[in-house]
Chains A and B, each alone.
Chain A
Amino acid sequence: MYLKSSYEIRDKYLRKDMLPTIFCPGCGIGAVLQYTLRAIDDLELNQDEVVWVSGIGCSSRVPGYVNFDGLHTTHGRALAFATGIKMANPDLKVIAFMGDGDAAAIGGNHLIHAIRRNLDITVILINNFTYGMTGGQVAPTTPKGLRGTTAPYGSFENPFDIAELAVAAGANYVARWSVFNYLQGINSIKKALQKEGFTLVEFLSPCPISFGRRNKLKTAPELIKWYQKLSVPISKAKEMSPEELEGKVIIGEFTDRDRPSLVKEYEAYKKRAKKAMGWEE
C-alpha cells in the first residue's frame, strides 16, 4: 500500500460544496472516513459503481460528504434500503456507514436480518458508545456504569457486543479496531470490500463532546488512551479467562469466511424457479 497525502484523498473523493462537516473537534468519524476512502482508493474501485447508504446520526451524514451516489435514509433503516439497492442492481458495491445507536438499537432487527441473509454489503460501524447527534444519551453499547443524559447516574443495562453479534448472525467478515489502529483498520476495510456477503468493520471512535466529558474522558487523546486500556487483541483474549475479560473490548479479526451471499443465492433461486416451471433445463 502506498500512502497518498490526505489532500489527494480529500480532493479526489469529497464534495467540496458540502464541507465543512458537522463533526465536533476530537470526533473519530473523519479518521474512519479517511480509512474507508484510502481502502477504496487502494482497491481502485470505480467511484461510479459504489453507493453509500446511511441512517440517522453523526456518522450517517458521511454519504453527503463523499462524491459517490448516496442514500441518507431514516433512523436505523439503512440496511433495509441497501437490500433494495443491491438486489435491484447487484453490480453496485454498497457501503453502509452506521453508528452504534443506529445499527444496534433502532436498526437492530434490520442488522441481524441483513447479516442472516448474508446481504452483499460492507458496514463501517462507528461505535462511540453514545448518541452523539442528540446530545449524549446512553446507547445499547454504553459500558455498564458509564454516564449518559438518559442514565445520569451510570448505565444500568448490559451493552451489546456488535462484532460478536455479527459473527453469531452469520457475517462473512467481522473485524473491530479502535481509530488509532490505522493500518489494521484500512486493511480490514479493504478485505471487507473485496468479499461477497455481509462484512462489518467496527471502530471504537471518540466522542469527547457528548460522551467523554460526562465520563471523565474530556478529550480525544484521553478517550484513545482509555481504548488502549480497554482493548485486548483477539489472540491474547483467547488465552484469558472470562473474569479477566470482564469489561474489556476485544479487537482484531473475528471471522473471515465465505458462506454463499444473498446475491449468489438469489441467482440460484431464479434458476430453480425456471427449472420448476420447465422454462429451463
Chain B
Amino acid sequence: MRYPFPVGTVDFIQGDEAIARAAILAGCRFYAGYPITPASEIFEAMSIYMPLVDGVSIQMEDEIGSIAAVVGASWAGAKSMTATSGPGFSLMMENLGYAIMTETPLVLVNVQRSGPSTGQPTLAAQGDLMQAIWGTHGDHSLIVLAPATVQEAFDMTIKAFNLAEKYRTPVILLTDAEVGHMRERVYAPHPDELELIYRKLPANEEEAKYPFGDIHGDLVPPMPVFGKGHHTYVTGLTHDEKGRPKTVESEIHEKLLKRIVEKIEKNKKDIVDYEGYGLEDAEIVIIGFGIVTRSAMRAVKELRKKGIKAGLLKLNVLWPFDFELIERIAEKAGKIYVVEMNLGQLYHMVKEGANGKVPVELIPKIGGEIHTPKEIIERIKDNLR
C-alpha cells in the first residue's frame, strides 16, 4: 500500500491535516463534506489523498447530506468520516441521531469555532461540548474525544475509528480552530505499527438475521454489510432485534435504547482516557480539555514554583464521562477549577462528579482567545488572598 504522505517518520503539519492523514492510515475510505472554516483543510487534504488510495472524497450540497452519505457508505462497508464546525455541526444533529439509532460506525470531526450562529468563524472555542454529547434529540449515547495537540489530533483520530468500529457507534472528535490550524511536529506511525479495529461482521446467516440483537452478550451486535446477501433492513424507527419497525411497543423501545446507552456506559473503562499532573498531592486541581489544558499546565507548573500545590486533570474523553474519577479527585483536593473556552459546560459535569465534596469554580473565557497561563494563575491567586 502506497501512502501519499510520509509514514513511520515525523512531519510538521496542521492539526486538520493530521486528522486527514490519520484517517487514511486508520483505513477510512469514504469522506463526504461541505466547506466550512476552520475544518475545510481536513476536506482539502482528503480530496488530495482519497483518489490516490482508491477511496472516495465528495463534496455534498450541505452538512445534512455529508453525514447522510457517510452513514450510507458505512453500511456499504467503508470506514467513513466527515468534518465540520459549529453551523454545520448543528445541521448534522439530525443524522447523527440516525447513526446512533441505527448503530452506524462513523467519525464526525467538529473543529470548534465561536458561536452561536455564524459567530467568530476563524476563532477557537469550546462551546459545542454539550451539543456534542446531547445535541441530537431523544435518549442516546455516543463517544466524544478531545485533542489538545496536533499529535493528539492524529492519535485520537485513529482511536476514534477504532472505537467507532468496536462499539458500532458514531464517535465525535471535538477539536477546535487552534488545534486545527496550528502546525506542530507529528509522528505518523508506519501502518505496521498500528492496531486497527474493524467492525464485527455476522459469522453466519443466522447471526445476520439479528443486526440489532445482543447475540454475543457484549451489547454490540455484529453489523451486516450491504451487498452480501443478508437482506438487512435498517430504519431510524424504533426496531426489534431483526430491524423490524416496532413503533408503539414500549418494552422494545426501552430495550433498544438501554442497550445503545449501556454499550457505551458499561465499557467506560475501556473508553475513558485522561492525563493527570501533580494530582498525588494537589490541593488545587484544574480540570479541562483540549487546547486550554496547555495553558493550564503552564499555570500549574508556575503555581508549584510559588509553593502552591496545584495539579491538572486533562480529560481526553468527554463522553462517556468519568464522574467517579472526578469524585475521587474531589475527595482529595481542596478546590477544583474548571478552565474552558465557554461560559460553563464541562463545569456542570465536574460539579456533578464532585458531588458537593469540594468547591468547584469556573474559569471561563469566550471571544476566541485561549486563557493565558497568567489569567489562570491570577484567578487562583486572587482566591488564595
Residues on the A chain within 8 Å of B60, using CB: 80, 83, 113
The interface bits of chain A over 61-94 (1 if a CB of B lies within 8 angstroms of the residue's CB, else 0) are 1011001111111100100111111111101100
DSSP majority for the B interface? mixed
Given contacts A49-B227, A87-B58, A89-B227, are A63 and B98 in contact (CB under 8 A)?
Answer: no
Given contacts A48-B228, A64-B233, A72-B236, are A85 and B75 in contact (CB under 8 A)?
Answer: yes
Residues on the B chain within 8 Å of A48, using CB: 227-229, 231
Report the separation of the CA atoms of residues A71 and B54 in the bound assembly, to the nearest whole angstrom: 25
**A77 B65 Cβ-Cβ under 8 A:** yes
Interface membership of B245, Cβ < 8 A: yes
DSSP majority for the A interface? helix
Report the separation of the CA atoms of residues A68 and B242 in the bound assembly, to the nearest whole angstrom: 14
Chain A: CB-nearest residue to B4: A277
B109, chain A: closest CB distance, angstroms: 17
Interface membership of B324, Cβ < 8 A: no
**B94 A277 Cβ-Cβ under 8 A:** no
Residues on the B chain within 8 Å of A269, using CB: 51
Interface membership of B230, Cβ < 8 A: yes
Interface membership of B69, Cβ < 8 A: yes
Chain B 212-251 residues near chain A, CB threshold 8 A: 226-237, 242, 244-245
Residues on the B chain within 8 Å of A44, using CB: none
**B76 A89 Cβ-Cβ under 8 A:** yes
**B244 A110 Cβ-Cβ under 8 A:** no
Return the contact of B235 from the options A64, A89, A270 (Cβ within 8 A): A64
Using C-beta atoms within 8 Å of the partner chain, give the interface range for chain A. 35 or more
Return the contact of A279 from the options B2, B76, B227, B230 (Cβ within 8 A): B2
Chain B: CB-nearest residue to A48: B229
B236, chain A: closest CB distance, angstroms: 6
**B61 A88 Cβ-Cβ under 8 A:** no
Using C-beta atoms within 8 Å of the partner chain, give the interface range for chain B. 35 or more
Return the contact of A92 from the options B30, B227, B236, B244 (Cβ within 8 A): B227
Chain A: CB-nearest residue to B226: A69
**B95 A72 Cβ-Cβ under 8 A:** no
Interface membership of B292, Cβ < 8 A: no
Return the contact of A87 from the options B65, B69, B75 (Cβ within 8 A): B69
Interface membership of A238, Cβ < 8 A: no
Residues on the A chain within 8 Å of B98, using CB: 73-74
A134, chain B: closest CB distance, angstroms: 14
Residues on the B chain within 8 Å of A81, using CB: 68-69, 71-72
B375, chain A: closest CB distance, angstroms: 43
**B68 A273 Cβ-Cβ under 8 A:** no
**A84 B234 Cβ-Cβ under 8 A:** no
Interface membership of B52, Cβ < 8 A: yes
Report the separation of the CA atoms of residues A78 and B111 in the bound assembly, to the nearest whole angstrom: 27
B247, chain A: closest CB distance, angstroms: 10
Report the separation of the CA atoms of residues A61 and B236 in the bound assembly, to the nearest whole angstrom: 11
User: Chain B CB within 10 Å — which of A69, A88, A273 has the most?
Assistant: A88
**B65 A70 Cβ-Cβ under 8 A:** no
Residues on the A chain within 8 Å of B272, using CB: none
A93, chain B: closest CB distance, angstroms: 10
**A109 B62 Cβ-Cβ under 8 A:** yes
Interface membership of A215, Cβ < 8 A: no
Interface membership of A274, Cβ < 8 A: yes
Report the separation of the CA atoms of residues A91 and B226 in the bound assembly, to the nearest whole angstrom: 11
Given contacts A77-B95, A81-B69, are A69 and B227 in contact (CB under 8 A)?
Answer: yes
Residues on the A chain within 8 Å of B74, using CB: 84, 88
Q: Which 4 A-B pairs have the closest CB atoms?
A: A84-B72, A80-B68, A84-B73, A84-B69
- Having A18-B244, A110-B68, A277-B52, one finds 4 other A-B pairs with CB under 8 Å, namely A64-B235, A73-B68, A92-B227, A110-B64
Cross-chain pairs A/B with CB under 8 angstroms, 18 sampled: A48-B229, A51-B76, A53-B72, A63-B233, A70-B231, A70-B233, A72-B235, A72-B237, A81-B72, A84-B75, A85-B72, A88-B73, A88-B74, A88-B78, A92-B76, A266-B51, A270-B54, A273-B51
